[in-house]
Amino acid sequence: MAMSTHIVNGVNASDDASAQVCSAYDNEGGCTQDNDVESACADKDEKCATYVEEGACAANPGYMTHSCAASCNTCNAVIEAAKGAVARPCTDDDYRCLEWAGMGECDNNPGNQFGIEQHLSQNDSERKITEARLAESIKYMNTVWTDEEYKSIRHKCRNQHKDCTLWAASGECEKNPTYMHLNCAPACSTCDKLDIRHRCPIKPGNEVIWKAGDLNTLMERIVDDADGSGDYKRYNPTALSRPILKRDGSPAPGVEKDGPWVVVLENFVTAEEADRLVEIGKTQGYQRSADVGKEKPDGSHESKVSDSRTSHNTWCKEGCFDDPLVAPVVDRIANTTGTQVKNSEYLQLLQYEPGQYYRQHHDYIQHHKEKPCGVRILTFFIYLNDVEEDGGGGTHFPLLNITVQPKKGNAVLWPSVKDEAPEDKDGRTDHEALPVLKGFKYGANAWIHNRDYKEAYKIGCQ
């Protein structure tokens, strides 16, 4: 079923009976083409006669009254509409609309709607600029509905507020783009921004923090204390896996097998800090964990609950990250990894009940590569309670044959990317959270990104 997309007739308000209908506007909202009442009342659809025979004047007055005013004898209604202070804001574009609506086509084929009916101000100058903007929107939406380029987002391109067009006419698309581009996309002519791939470009200045070699430099500094400062000594760092050769080409002492970095830091958080994170998690309430799901047509991703991950989690955002016992932990993670707080996702607080687990997976998310947050480069995982040796719940790296047992306050960190190509996944750090067999397990994930995550999150581009 083909539907055209003509949506709104702009009507020039006038107080007297010799109302004029404006059919075109200039940039300032002035009417460039005044037609007299006679032409306003003329039939505008060459099939009017046929429709009338089919009884459409009565069956579908929404379309016929205005489009076949002569044949339906509804000239007065057109003049009244033109006289009224509010323009006829939205009309059906085909006399069969009513019939189609009855068949459920508004839901099945919501093509010719572009959102909430737009309010035209009573104030003359506002009204003029709004009408001019409306005329632009109509033109633009015709393109959106015909051009292949907009196929994936055209159904989502709607004005979500009655004042979108007035706001757009007053410069709000430029002043307040985050809200306007999404919620008033027809008014701002920004339907393309509904596609996350267009809305979220990587802007100049948002640089990656790791170049080739930076991963090994950091990890050698942590584990070998190569800078001699002793800063990391207090965590008694242990590399459970590491590259067989150091950056200077010398063999890493005691290392027999080449591998990615997996490093344990002891007592990274105090017992008090760990308890506070668990307490905040409980107060906020843990929800069933979800994974990244399928890509949606607009380029964003579904989140999906699946059997591969049965834990519960909550996020440490407002009211948590600024807690006096939490803020130092967040800062410490950034300092220890030579990154900045803005590179890290908000802490994810995890709870595993007996029997719960997270099957083998990788923390690297491919689609982040083209996003302003960049890819996850490091996972910094903190254990917030002890789980007994025979209590399960270990973090297991199946490709490396390593299991780290949860110990309150300890952290384990590993890269998601390769040292020589820090945007690319290092598949060797696949891991799983083994089922907890006894008691509960609590933990906190900090996923550190190669670009500014917090800014990307703020604008919905993560």
Chain positions contacting Fe ion, by CB under 5 A: 363
Round to whole Å and give the CA distance between 322 and 56.
64
What gap in Å lies between CA 197 and CA 201, rounded to an integer?
A: 7
Cα-to-chain-centroid distance, residue 320? 22
If contact means CB under 5 to 8 A according to the sort of partner, which of Fe ion, ligand AKG, none does residue 445 touch? ligand AKG
445 contacts ligand AKG (rule: CB under 6 A) = yes
**What does R_g of the chain's alpha carbons equal in angstroms?**
31
Residue closer to ligand AKG by CB (options 219, 347) is: 347
Given Fe ion, ligand AKG, none, residue 222, with its beta carbon under 5 to 8 Å by kind, binds: none
Report in angstroms how near the CB of residue 445 gets to ligand AKG at its nearest.
Answer: 5
Q: Is residue 384 within the footprint of ligand AKG (CB under 6 A)?
A: no
Minimum Å gap between C-beta 431 and Fe ion is 6
Task: Let me know how many helices (H) and strands (E) the chain has, helices first.
Answer: 18, 16
Q: Which is nearer to Fe ion, 45 or 363 (CB)?
A: 363
CA distance linking residue 48 with residue 100, whole number of Å: 18
Min dist CB 104 to ligand AKG, Å, is: 43
Sign of CA dihedral 240, 243, 247, 249: positive
* Minimum CB distance to Fe ion, residue 366 (Å): 15
Q: Considering the rule CB under 6 A, would residue 358 count as an interface residue with ligand AKG?
A: yes
Position among 8, 11, 132, 433 found at the interface with ligand AKG (CB under 6 A)? 433
Cα–Cα distance for residue pair 286/217, rounded to 1 Å: 37
* Residue 33 DSSP one-character state: -
SS3 track for 331-379: HHHHHHHCCCHHHECCEEEEEECCCCCEEEECCCCHHHHHCCCCCEEEE
In the bound state with ligand AKG, the residue whose beta carbon lies nearer, of 259 and 443, is: 443
Least distance in angstroms from the C-beta of 398 to ligand AKG: 12
Q: Is 443 in the site for ligand AKG (CB under 6 A)?
A: yes
Distance CA 440, CA 407 (A): 12
CB of 111 to Fe ion, least distance (A): 42
Query: Would you list the DSSP string of 13-25?
Result: --SSSS--EE--B
* Interface with ligand AKG, residue 169, by CB under 6 A: no
CB of 305 to ligand AKG, least distance (A): 14
In angstroms, rounded to a whole number, what is the distance separating the alpha carbons of residues 191 and 325?
44
DSSP 28: T
Q: Does 409 bind ligand AKG (CB under 6 A)?
A: no
User: Contact between 431 and ligand AKG (CB under 6 A)?
Assistant: yes
* Cβ closest to Fe ion, residue 10 vs residue 415: 415
Residue in 190, 395, 416, 429 binding ligand AKG, rule: CB under 6 A: 395
Size of the site for ligand AKG (CB under 6 A): 9
Residue pair 397/262 in contact by the 8 Å Cβ criterion: yes
Please, what is the minimum distance in Å from the beta carbon of residue 414 to ligand AKG?
A: 10
Cβ 415 vs Cβ 426: under 8 Å: yes
Site string for ligand AKG, 338-357 (x = CB under 6 A): ------------x-------
For ligand AKG, the closer CB: 232 or 414: 414
Q: Does 363 bind ligand AKG (CB under 6 A)?
A: yes
Decide: 150 and 143 in contact? Cβ < 8 Å. Answer: yes
Q: Which is nearer to ligand AKG, 410 or 445 (CB)?
A: 445
Q: State the nearest-atom distance from the C-beta of 435 to Fe ion, in Å.
A: 15
Sign of the CA dihedral running 225, 227, 229, 231? negative
Closer CB to ligand AKG, 12 or 241, in the complex? 241
Residue 374's CB: how many other CB atoms inside 10 A?
A: 26
- Closest to ligand AKG by CB, 190 or 395: 395
| Rounded Cα–Cα distance for residues 222 and 241 (Å) | 14
To the nearest 10 degrees (0 to 180), the angle between helices 271-284 and 327-337 is 120
Run of H or E including 138: helix 124-146
Residue 200 tokens read as 């979220």
Q: Which does 433 bind (CB under 5 to 8 A by kind): Fe ion, ligand AKG, none?
A: ligand AKG
* Least Å from the CB of residue 451 to Fe ion: 20
Nearer to ligand AKG, 9 or 445 (CB): 445
- Rule CB under 6 A: say whether 381 interacts with ligand AKG: yes
- List interacting residues with ligand AKG (CB under 6 A): 350, 358, 363, 381, 395, 431, 433, 443, 445
